[in-house]
Chain A
Amino acid sequence: MADAIRRQTVGARLLRGALYAVLILAALFYALPLLIMLITSIKPLSEITAGSLLSLPQNPTLAPWTKAWGEACTGMRCEGVGGYFWNSFAIVIPAVLISTAAGALNGYALTKWRFKGAEIVFALMLFGCFIPFQVVLLPMAQTLGWLGLSSSRAGLVLVHVVFGIAFTTLFFRNFYVGIPDELVSAAKLDGAGFFRIFWRILLPVSAPIIVVSIIWQFTQIWNDFLFGVAFSGHDTQPVTVALNNLVNTSTGVTEYNVNMAAAMIAALPTLVVYVLAGKYFVRGLTAGSVKG
């Protein structure tokens, strides 16, 4: 559909130049904040207050990173965000695995073993994707207390699983709808049962949607702040909460380079995932919103 603009007249060539200029400007708008964050995180504090936002570091240093990782104060403690970084992993990994597994089974049961009421169950689950979580915060806090999971990592895992299942079910349901029912019929005639069909027939072809689900859940849970701040204790905070505390802890001079290093640390895992598996990330974002 772009052929029309390719005619090689002078006007068209100018137009094409302008097109690239706009696109590159836009790229700068998106890229610069990350670059500035990176540059700032390796500058000594003196260069930050004296120099400009964009000036390159004269004496690059990793000191802000080591301080952000191990020494910076987050609230009352001064142990950096390193511990909280691992906290995030300890919460994210089980939550991602459980919610993906549950979503896969749900999607399979909903699409390949349709029963009366399956559509209603799905509609009710789908709605769970969209509620503002503020509406569950207070009862959740109390329920976690009753379960003895207040301020624990297990409690946060539970919360993320509960509110992630709706999304993972949606992913797998939409994926399995596209897999022909006849495959399941054939396997039934061959003598396979519910779990065997899932394990031998459906799961081996589910790799793309498993990746989408894992990446989506990973970024969602890693980036979560609301549940983290509401339900974690001092020792169990995820890195987003620790980062916010670090930035807002004022002990004399604000060390912007440390702040930026800590922000980079919090951002790295999801950035790495995005760079490595961007295709699947986009598919997760657009799942269900663009109908094929």
Chain B
Amino acid sequence: MTHSISPKARRPTASGRLQAWLPRLVLAPSAAVILFFVYGFMLWTFVLSLTSSRMLPSYDFVGFGQYARLMANDRWWVASTNLMIFGALFVAVCLVIGALLAILLDQKIRQEGALRTVYLYPMALSFIVTGVVWKWLLNPQLGIQAMVQGWGFESFRFDWIVDPNMAIYTLVIAAVWQASGFVMALFLAGLRGIDDSIIKAAQLDGASLPRIYWRVVMPCLRPVVFSAVMILAHIAIKSFDLVVALTGGGPGYASDLPATFMYTHAFNRAQIGLGSASAMLMLGGVLAILIPYLYSELRSRRHG
């Protein structure tokens, strides 16, 4: 029994080679597009941020001059501080409301489906619509303030939208209205995923219901909290439409956020270099929260 062992026999056949390359070929256009439009553009924006570009991109390099200008720019600091306030409040309030509603909804509630639908629908709306609606509700002459005053509470004041010190909080209200239902959905999915026997075991141990939630259930939901914080923080940093529609960044620039700052300077005020620098700082902010997230995500995927 002899075989002519040709060394070529182990080389893949033509159709084998095609099969090996097809997946790559199929993925290549998307990969190329992402490489160019995401990574190429990030680099491009970084290059622009090192130039003195104003109306049109020019490639007259000024080092990190634009970043220095940004650091000296009062409006940028207002926008950044606003983002801190807005982001922290938005994330915290959404988490509290979302977790609370999810726990309450998890008590075998009649009409749970209907309630869930009502809590979550704002997430389907555009931030522009949300902004338009809340602008109307917060209008001191015609909105909530006027309505409550009309009920006889003449001294009631709710004019945050025209108050430079308070305008940023109106953004928090509208954004929480839009996104807290989503957090509720995340928590509810997490609660439903918890093994019932853990809770039964805790009940047999004699723990009270609030105690079970605090000591047994919440720790199981740590990954949900983590994802929710990441997603909310990400929404906060990208918030642009809501500001445009609700406050327009005003009064003055009291409720500016970095996203509106960037857009205004790059597109309306012919400050492409400065706008690019602010965009790069926004990217830095996102990376600061994203890298730990992706790291843990990929690590947990590898382990399980």
Contact = CB atoms under 8 A, between A and B. Distances in A.
Interface of A: 1-2, 4-6, 16, 19-20, 22-23, 26-27, 29-31, 33-34, 36-37, 40, 48-49, 52-54, 102, 105-106, 108-110, 113, 115, 118, 121, 123-128, 130-140, 142-143, 162-163, 165-166, 169, 193-195, 219, 222-226, 229-230, 240, 243-244, 247-248, 256, 259-260, 262-263, 266-267, 270-271, 273-275, 278, 281-282, 285-286, 289-292
A212 to B, nearest CB: 14
Given A127-B294, A223-B128, 15 more contacts: A2-B107, A4-B203, A19-B104, A33-B122, A105-B27, A106-B27, A113-B23, A121-B31, A130-B234, A134-B240, A162-B34, A223-B127, A225-B240, A243-B132, A278-B117
Nearest to B272: A138
Nearest to A113: B23
A243 B189 CA distance: 35
B147 A133 contact: no
A257 to B, nearest CB: 10
B128 A266 contact: yes
A19 B23 CA distance: 54
Given A138-B275, A194-B22, A223-B126, A132 B142 contact: no
Interface in B252-281: 258-259, 262-263, 266-267, 272, 275-276, 278-280
Contacts of B240: 134, 225-226
Interface string B25-42: 011011101110111111
A127 B38 contact: yes
A53 B144 CA distance: 7
A286 B124 CA distance: 14
B46 to A, nearest CB: 9
* Range for the number of chain B residues in contact with chain A: 35 or more
Interface string B215-252: 00000000110011001001001101100110010000
B166 to A, nearest CB: 19
B140 interface: no
B87 interface: no
Interface in B175-211: 177, 181-182, 185-186, 189-191, 193-194, 196, 199-200, 203, 209
A49 B286 contact: no
Contacts of B212: 1, 4
A115 B37 contact: no
Contacts of A4: 203, 209, 212
B125 A166 contact: no
